[in-house]
Amino acid sequence: MRIATWNVNSIKQRVGHLVGFLEEAKPDVVCLQELKCQDAGMPRAEIEAAGYAVETLGQKAYNGVALLVRAPLQMSEIRRGLPGDEADEQARYIEAVITGEDATTGKAVAPLRVASIYLPNGNPVESPKYPYKLAFLERLRLHARALMAEETALVLAGDYNVIPEPEDAADPEAWRSDALFLPQSRAAFRRLLAEGFTDALRACDPRGGLYTFWDYQAGSWPRNQGIRIDHLLLSPQAADRLVSASVQKHLRGLEKPSDHVPVTVELAPA
């Protein structure tokens, strides 16, 4: 089973790129972030025409997350919003259980729970945005612990807005005071990993220079001044099935691209 995560940075502007990626990579599950539209504004017709069902949690102009599954796979037990703060109105979390048949083999797949996550950026650090980021990470850790207790294969995928280690940035010093790289952010991410998760890309490729985001400013893309902030975290049951992980870097070179690129993992049948 092929699972991808991609911050599309406005689905309406990038739907053509998305459909192209669906046709090229044929992922079974896609986790999207930063839709920047309400549910009614999601370009469902184009996505459904490509063979995918869609579930969304949208928000006007900001945030927004979605799950896409390739037929004949199906979604159930859909959760919209991260537990732990009933006052949180930001559209940053959606999860579902994936069941059905593999489109390629026709064989039934073991149930897999997948979440699409758009963690807060947290800047400026002196504002309320940074405490909100840290609180969101702690809520995610507690919710992930509860899901892990079910012992079902689980994938937490998305834009985490966390640079885990210095090798995950082309220029670590440039990020020292940024919310993405502050020690508190990285420690919170490590606490999430310590619940028993595997960083899929790092498990498959420990090299530096693997980036998933290049800013639009200062020639970051041509100079390869990237950072790795898009992650797929696997529970032990999912990690046991991990075959490969890769970054679809070439999509950053498209005309009017997202500043992020997809990251994809391949899981073997259970």
Point out the annotated binding site for Mg(2+): 7, 34, 159, 161, 259-260
Alpha-carbon gap, residue 40 to 59, rounded angstroms: 10
- CA–CA distances in Å: residue 141 to residues 112, 138, 147, 190: 19, 5, 10, 10
Give the residue ranges of the annotated binding site.
7, 34, 159, 161, 259-260
- How buried is 216 (Cβ within 10 angstroms: 0-12 exposed, 13-18 middle, 19+ buried)? exposed
| Residue tagged active-site, from 118, 130, 160, 211 | 118
Rounded to the nearest 10 degrees, the angle between the axes of helix 129-148 and helix 183-193 is 10
The phi and psi torsions of 120 (rounded to 5 degrees) equal: -60, 150
129 in Cβ contact with 121 (< 8 Å): yes
| Residue tagged active-site, from 28, 52, 143, 159 | 159
Which parts of the chain are beta strand (E)?
2-7, 29-33, 52-57, 65-70, 74-80, 93-101, 108-118, 153-159, 198-199, 230-234, 242-247, 263-267
Following CA atoms 139, 260, 34, 215 in sequence, which dihedral angle do they give, to the nearest 10 degrees?
A: 100
Can 118 be counted among the known catalytic residues?
yes
| Residue tagged active-site, from 17, 143, 231, 260 | 260
Alpha-carbon gap, residue 67 to 112, rounded angstroms: 13
DSSP conformation class of 258: -
Alpha-carbon gap, residue 83 to 117, rounded angstroms: 13
Q: Which residue numbers are catalytic?
A: 118, 159, 260
